[in-house]
Amino acid sequence: MTFEQALPQIFLFLMGLSVLIYAILDGFDLGVGILLHRSDQSYRNQMIASIGPFWDANETWLVLAIGILLIAFPQAHNIILRELYLPVLFLIIGLIIRGVAFDFRAKAVTKFQLMWDRSFKFGSILASSSQGYMMGSYVMGFENSVNAILFSILGAVCVTAAYAYIGGTWLVLKTEGELQKFAAKKARVAGWITAIGIMAICITNPIINPLVAERWFSLPAAILLIPIPLMVILLMVATDIYLKKVPLKNDLACWIPFASVAGVFFLCVVGLAYSYFPYVIPNKLLAQDAASATASLEFVFYGVVIVLPVILLYTLFSYRLFKGKTTELTYY
């Protein structure tokens, strides 16, 4: 296969990579919003402070993924945006509410701050559930059947729980004391819901998608793929054991839960990618058929080669700059 022939697959990989990084990075700050404490303002301030330097930049990866979809696979972009018009609308509304609430809570009089915090929580839940519904509908190839709608609703619940899961582990990493214990408790509950959701999707998906069943259960692939579900189980069990013991003495290895859940996200995305590659829309549209002209892909590829490392570098720089525990949030 020549470089020109491989370009659609390369862009499909880059789009998948962008979605994975977005799910981990923006996933944890959406999760923090979902878990935002109802009554304790000091908890809410610390939770908001833990994502303050990162949350806006994390959404860059969503923009990159959509940009790749639009430029590299315009036919697929048209279909996806047409079929997911309402969920995308709710996603945008949720993200707007989050952005407005995040800024206004810093400027609101005390009696209005709770309102903006609740708005931030609502926007986080709306954005997360919209993404989950979109994922379920996408996996089902945008069918309008009852089964497809139920699967999409299951996706909405699972993604919301998964974001709360990784958001809780982020708070375990970034906070201390009673808030850390609160986050660990919430993360455990979200982890159980996420585990149930993953199992439900793993059972349901092969039943409703013969292609997926063939790829996962035919030999020798079935034997070679066993490590993926086993690693997911191992990571989730290890995370639950750690969270049960929080806080540990000297906050020992507080990064383990977050890294483990990020590993779960990675394995789930790998599983989905294996299930549907090289389709850009499952069971309907191949990447090769949906791709732009080769000259356009080559031009865009060189742009991505420049832009992607820049995004990675400033992402790594910001996380390194603001590493460590969250300090007290103050407004001037």
**SS3 track for the chain:** CCHHHHHHHHHHHHHHHHHHHHHHHHHHHHHHHHCCCCCCHHHHHHHHHHHCCCHHHHCHHHHHHHHHHHHHCHHHHHHHHHHCHHHHHHHHHHHHHHHHHHHHHHHCCHHHHHHHHHHHHHHHHHHHHHHHHHHHHHHCCCCCCHHHHHHHHHHHHHHHHHHHHHHHHHHHHHCCHHHHHHHHHHHHHHHHHHHHHHHHHHHHHHHHCHHHHHHHHCCCHHHHCCHHHHHHHHHHHHHHHHHHHCCCHHHCCCCHHHHHHHHHHHHHHHHHHHHHCCEEECCCEEHHHHCCCHHHHHHHHHHHHHHHHHHHHHHHHHHHHCCCCCCCCCCC
pLDDT band at 279 (very low <50, low <70, confident <90, very high): confident
* Statement: residue 116 has pLDDT above 60: yes
d(C-alpha 60, C-alpha 41), whole Å: 29
* Statement: residue 300 has pLDDT above 70: yes
* Statement: residue 79 has pLDDT above 70: yes
Lowest mean pLDDT segment, chosen from 147-151, 240-244, 264-268: 147-151
pLDDT band at 321 (very low <50, low <70, confident <90, very high): confident
pLDDT band at 330 (very low <50, low <70, confident <90, very high): low
Mean per-residue pLDDT over the chain, rounded: 89
pLDDT digits (tens, 9 = 90+) for 250-266: 777 889 999 999 999 99
Global pTM? 0.92
| Percentage with pLDDT > 90 across the chain | 42
- Domains of the chain and CATH, by start: 9-321 (1.20.1630.10)
Question: What is the predicted pLDDT for the residue at 20?
Answer: 93
* Statement: residue 61 has pLDDT above 70: yes
